[in-house]
Amino acid sequence: MRPITDISKVLEQYGVYLRIEKGLSDNTARGYATDVEHLVSYLRSEGISPENADGVALELFVGTLKDLGIQARSQARIVSGIKSFYKFLQLEGYTDGNPTLLLPAPHIGRHLPEVLTVDEIDQMLSCIDMSTPEGIRNRAIIEAMYGCGLRVSELIGLRLSSIYADEQYIIVNGKGNKQRLVPISPIALELIANYIHDVRGTMTIKKGNDDIVFLNRRGSALSRQMVFIIIKQLCELAGIRKTVSPHTLRHSFATHLLEGGANLRAIQQMLGHESIATTEIYMHIDRTMLRDEILQHHPRNRR
């Protein structure tokens, strides 16, 4: 565990994590960051640094929200932000454990993630200029993320030594450094192979990045921010007005598999979810789409 020496820098890094890794909108990310700032201020008044706060200290903070008359929905959002913040601190090595695991919050219902249609994915791909090195790379990136359901951290950490083209599998390093085997399509493999041969093979690669698949112009691994920018720009070119992030491709991957008849357990393994309950949100999305289709097309609802 390492101490927090500059909380403002940590909060800035947390904001990037929310937008890129979690796929939250700028407004939502700012809201979470503001809520965490309130928590940090409260802990400071109690003489507690964020990385040393325990569950009792956090419950006392949540208790003050109710005393201030903050509505249950807002309380739930704040608790959600706190949990996200401590998950981030744990991932970055600032805490050994997560004191928010048993932190209670009002139940407000489930947020359904944004999903792209297959046509919208195709529109994004059609906007890529394959005559440029960046276009060749970006096409391979989109195919890998959408075709394998990868998190952005898993994409930028993908290694050449983890691609088994003959078997059509890749090894992915997921959350908690847990590895999983993920099938990859022949199309994605061909695009990655073309990128490696035509683009990557002509680059001067910086030391330490020799085994990383996707690189920037300077020969270094891509950042999360860069992948976010690539996807955002493609959506703008395609005229897609949804709030889209790298995580949207992962949600779309899972939803389209379910719509195509894939088993929920298989999707769970592909996504690397420890609990089937996490994957079941896509079942809810599928039911929601079914409901919308019925309401839109059933003759008794078209009057």
Catalytically active residues are: 151, 175, 247, 250, 273, 282
Determine how many CB atoms are found less than 10 A away from the CB of residue 19. Answer: 21
d(CA 139, CA 163) in angstroms, rounded, equals 17
Distance CA 44, CA 47 (A): 5
Which stretches of the chain are DSSP H helices?
7-20, 26-45, 55-67, 72-91, 118-126, 133-148, 152-156, 186-198, 224-238, 246-259, 264-271, 276-279, 281-297
Helical pair 55-67 and 26-45, crossing angle rounded to 10 deg = 110
Q: What are phi and psi of 103, to 5 degrees?
A: -75, 120
Question: Can you tell me the distance from the alpha carbon of 235 to that of 164, in angstroms, rounded to the nearest whole number?
Answer: 31
* Integer Cα distance of 154 and 204 in angstroms: 23
Give Cα separations from 177 to 17, 274, 292 (angstroms). Answer: 17, 13, 39
Contact 24, 84 (CB under 8 A): no
Burial (0-12, 13-18, 19+ Cβ within 10 Å), 10: buried
Instruction: Scan for tokens 């529109």, then name that residue.
Output: 123
